[in-house]
Structure 1
Amino acid sequence: MSRILNRPVDVTTGPDGRPAAFRFAGGRERVCAVLDTWMETGRWWEQEPELIAYRVETESGGVFELNFIPREQRWLLYKAYD
């Protein structure tokens, strides 16, 4: 199961630009592994921006999907997996 959150989030990145930590539920989650990375082009006919998606595992055992929108230089916490 998963929950769609799709909300802005503060992300700290590592030297490679991948997420290293982010804030969630009042605390700081440290990323221990990037499980998957992919690009999505969005619906071009609706001018949706391209994004880079990261499925990450945190030190607390959570699995999340973080999306980075390069054009806007912003991060979204898109999904939390149960």
Structure 2
Amino acid sequence: MKPFSIEVQCRDGTPLMIRCGDNALQVEKVLERWRDTGCWWEGESEKAFFRVLCQDGGIREIYCDLLSRQWFLYRIYD
């Protein structure tokens, strides 16, 4: 899956709501969070990753590009 742009509502840097197009999902719980520097030698910026449990029972990985402040959906777990 190629990451795609999403909107995320946060409080104190913690995701509360994910919006993908017309679909909005409440984040029930942040299961894990970490930072990744990526390919810094190629100019890739640092990212803040979150593995979250959403209201539909699905687990998703999302990240925020810390330079651009844009959010992306990275992975959906079955």
What does residue 11 of structure 1 align with?
8
Matches of residues 64-79 of structure 1 in structure 2 within 5 Å?
Answer: 64-79=60-75
Determine which of 48, 64, 67 is the counterpart of 2:44: 48
- Percent of aligned positions that are identical: 33
Distance (Å, rounded) in 2 between the aligned partners of 1:73 and 1:58: 22
TM-score normalised by structure 1 residue count: 0.88
Number of residue pairs matched by the alignment: 78
How much does 1:19 deviate?
A: 0.6
SS at 2:68's partner residue? coil
CA offsets, 1:56-77, max 9 Å, x none? 0001101000101111011001
How much does 1:5 deviate?
A: 3.9
Distance (Å, rounded) in 2 between the aligned partners of 1:45 and 1:28: 36
Distance (Å, rounded) in 1 between the aligned partners of 2:2 and 2:77: 10
Structure 2's unaligned 5+ residue stretches are none
Amino acid at match of 1:24: C
SS at 1:45's partner residue? helix
1:55–1:64 CA contact under 8 A, matched in 2: yes
CA RMSD of aligned residues (A): 1.2
Q: Which has the higher contact order (CA 8 A, sep 6+)?
A: 1
What does residue 34 of structure 2 align with?
38
